[in-house]
Amino acid sequence: MLVGWLQGKGLLDMFTIGVSLAVAAIPEGLPIVVTVTLALGVMRMVKKRAIVKKLPIVETLGCCNVICSDKTGTLTKNEMTVTHLFTADGLHVEVTGVGYNGTGEVLLHGEEIHGFSNTSVSKIVEAGCICNDAVIRNNTLMGRPTEGALIALAMKMGLEGQQQEYVRLEENPFSSEQKWMAVRCVHHTQQDQPGVYYMKGAYEQVIRFCSYYHSKGATLPLNHQQRELYQQQKSYMGSSGLRVLAFASGSEMGNLSFLGLVGIIDPPRSGVKEAVGTLISSGVAIKMITGDSQETAVSIAGRLGIYTKGSQSLSGEEVDQMDLQQLSQMVPRIVVFYRASPRHKLKIVKSLQNIGAVVAMTGDGVNDAVALKAADIGVAMGQTGTDVCKEAADMILVDDDFQTILSAIEEGKGIYNNIKNFVRFQLSTSIAALTLISLATLMNFPNPLNAMQILWINIIMDGPPAQSLGVEPVDKDVIRKPPRNVRDSILTRSLLIKVLVSALVIVCGTLFVFWRELQDNLITPRDTTMTFTCFVFFDMFNALSSRSQTRMVHEMGLCSNKMFCYAVLGSIMGQLAVIYFPPLQSVFQTESLSIFGKKDMLAH
């Protein structure tokens, strides 16, 4: 403005243009585009069965480089089915059938067992039925899936009625900390008796309460040899991917009789292995946290591609023994945390954050809430999650499916790219407008654009074409790119180079047209109209090239973003109205261009 005034140009004209440039230079559309882009991303994620409670989390998903996931229900189907029994006296029993119903058989040496035909087997099934809070009605489970599998086993043997035959006098409920459940019951015909304890839970916990074992209807002292046998069988069943439960009964809690082991299969969800492979190949580490035994956890993790050669596992007890600094040094190498409880999750999250990781943590219980709150992205389960857990989380998986996390990360990366595309378009247009006026002033040319024309360009810059860049479809290859560093600026070196190149092309092209029009040394409305229209059309091509940072227009598809096509078409129609509609001609100081003028502009 000062240079123009010193050159003898009108102070009011220069002031008006200066204010117009100041308005054009401020990217006031950026907050709107960011908010709308994030909101639209949230709406798209709802269709993919993920509910995001906080808008900034959508963008944070693109930075996530560690996912700590529960096993049961997230990586697996949480559809438990008993497939194998091992009795305390050494019998191996196979179980057929799936689902929460009585369809299937319990087979010993190929022959079906039913009712109390085999005491060793029926004792385990009876204990699993009595020490149980689940109910199956019309093939529908009400209760925990693990307990549902035990009721289904009892149905296959015709022993499901035992649950109603006993009156419960006392209960020690299951918890993730103690990993066992026990009840004291008495038969409804013998309610004057002290009752019998039935226990189920993790083998290493149940065996601590046992002094005897059950063998063909008799009770024998539990010796070291028997303990070794049970440990071997537990390890064998666990390494097959089975969740192993141990059962015991007796009149005193400290002197129970060991009844045997039950192996329950919980198959991995379809598509999870592929999702895990995609995430790991893109630089996202997956860590599985489960209450299961080491053998079971490692087996399932191996099937899903989480646990590979050279991977390590760590128990919840070992996590307790380490301080935060020791765990931080070790946690990058650990992919499976077994026999872990919710209180271990918080320590795992903090140890990962100590080494600069951006952590997503899944959870479903009340005790998981603290870890979910501490994680960068807390993910609650929509079906099995408690209200407390959902309240603490940033995102809720409606279907409890791990694949939904992959979709959410993909959406987060795509949204961030769309914001970068918008920033590129806005900055290049602003810089081009500022540079054009500045160069024209320094070269002592008349002003190529008047104040109203600059403001019209600003409307296009912040208007429909710019907004439509925020709804660009997510590039399918974006998920394969590594997570970005959370500390990285949005204005990277490559982005700035692209901005400057785009601005240079717009300025050079527009100045060339303006210079050609000025060869008669007279500035006319036609000259500014040609320059103005040239700038707008250059800007439309700039918007087209800003749709992607890595792909060409023909690779994306010209009409893949219909909103962008409509926005550009609307902007061109608006530009034609500014040129040819008389009331707007007087406002923008334009004049109609003949067909020769258009040809001339295109030739330039």
Cα→Cα distances 97→82, 84, 94, 153, 240, Å: 9, 12, 10, 9, 18
Cα→Cα distances 266→99, 269, 441, Å: 11, 9, 74
What is the b/e burial string over 495-524, where b = at least 16 CB atoms within 10 angstroms of the residue's CB?
Answer: beebbeebbebbbebbbebbeebbeeeebe
Contacts of 20 (CB under 8 A, 6+ apart): 451, 452, 454, 455, 458
255: helix, coil or strand? coil
> What's the CA angle centered on 459, arms 453 and 463, to 5 degrees?
155
Exposure of 441 in the CB half-sphere (CA atoms within 13 A): 22
Task: Report the C-alpha gap between 478 and 408 in whole angstroms.
Answer: 12
Contact 279, 335 (CB under 8 A): no
Contact 416, 59 (CB under 8 A): yes
Cα→Cα distances 375→69, 360, 392, 406, 409, Å: 12, 6, 10, 17, 15
Task: Report the C-alpha gap between 552 and 159 in whole angstroms.
Answer: 67
The position carrying tokens 């693990």 is: 146
Task: Report the C-alpha gap between 190 and 39 in whole angstroms.
Answer: 64
Task: Report the C-alpha gap between 559 and 565 in whole angstroms.
Answer: 6
Kindly state the DSSP code that residue 485 receives in the 8-state scheme.
P
Contacts of 562 (CB under 8 A, 6+ apart): none
Residue 256 pairs in a beta bridge with: 210
Q: Which of 13, 70, 399, 539 is catalytic?
A: 70
Structure tokens belonging to residue 68 = 């700590």
Structure tokens belonging to residue 28 = 């006031």
> What's the CA angle centered on 394, arms 390 and 396, to 5 degrees?
50
Contacts of 428 (CB under 8 A, 6+ apart): 498, 499, 500, 502, 503, 506, 542, 546
Task: Report the C-alpha gap between 330 and 351 in whole angstroms.
Answer: 9
Task: Report the C-alpha gap between 533 and 585 in whole angstroms.
Answer: 13
Decide if 387 is catalytic: no
Contact 461, 454 (CB under 8 A): no
The position carrying tokens 């299937």 is: 104
Convert 155-176 into a string of H (helix), E (strand) and C (coil).
HHHCCCCHHHHEEEEEEECCCC
Residues acting as catalytic residues: 70
